[in-house]
């Protein structure tokens, strides 16, 4: 059994699949805040340059999910779940693709159990 660092809720998966139909391949980036905010951002794969300092945490719905190196330090002991909420008021107020559909992706997290974290570290050593 493989331990993942990131996954999605069924509601978020539904929005991602809709976005893939509209835009093709996607990429996600969880930035460190400031101008980018703290919400996970979804882009068309060719429209986003992944900074070399960012770390790939995994894939969600077949889309790569990256996180800022400093943010990774906060989340490295956590399992991240990407969810979605309706956000009609933010229309056009973000570069993330889901905004134009009236949604915003959000990050939820929980600390890995000791067993999950041990297994994750062992799996990462093998890669």
Q: Is the pLDDT of residue 118 over 80?
A: yes
Q: Which of 72, 85, 75 is nearest to 110 (CA)?
A: 75
Q: What average pLDDT score do residues 47-56 get? A: 91
Provide the pLDDT confidence category of residue 34 given band limits of 50, 70 and 90.
Answer: low
The answer to whether the beta carbons of residues 104 and 85 sit under 8 Å apart is yes
Confidence class of residue 126 from pLDDT cuts 50, 70 and 90? confident
Q: What is the pLDDT of residue 5?
A: 93
């Amino acid at each position: 059994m493989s331990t993942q660092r990131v996954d999605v809720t069924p509601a978020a998966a539904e929005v991602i699949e809709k976005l893939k139909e509209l835009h093709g391949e996607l990429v996600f980036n969880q930035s460190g805040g400031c101008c980018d905010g703290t919400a996970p951002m979804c882009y068309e794969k060719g429209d986003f340059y992944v900074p070399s300092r960012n770390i790939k945490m995994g894939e969600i719905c077949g889309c790569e999910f990256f996180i800022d190196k400093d943010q990774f330090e906060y989340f490295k002991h956590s399992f991240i779940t990407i969810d979605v909420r309706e956000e009609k008021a933010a229309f056009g107020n973000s570069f993330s693709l889901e905004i134009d559909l009236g949604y915003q992706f959000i990050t939820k997290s929980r600390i890995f159990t000791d067993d999950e974290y041990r297994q994750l570290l062992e799996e990462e050593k093998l890669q």
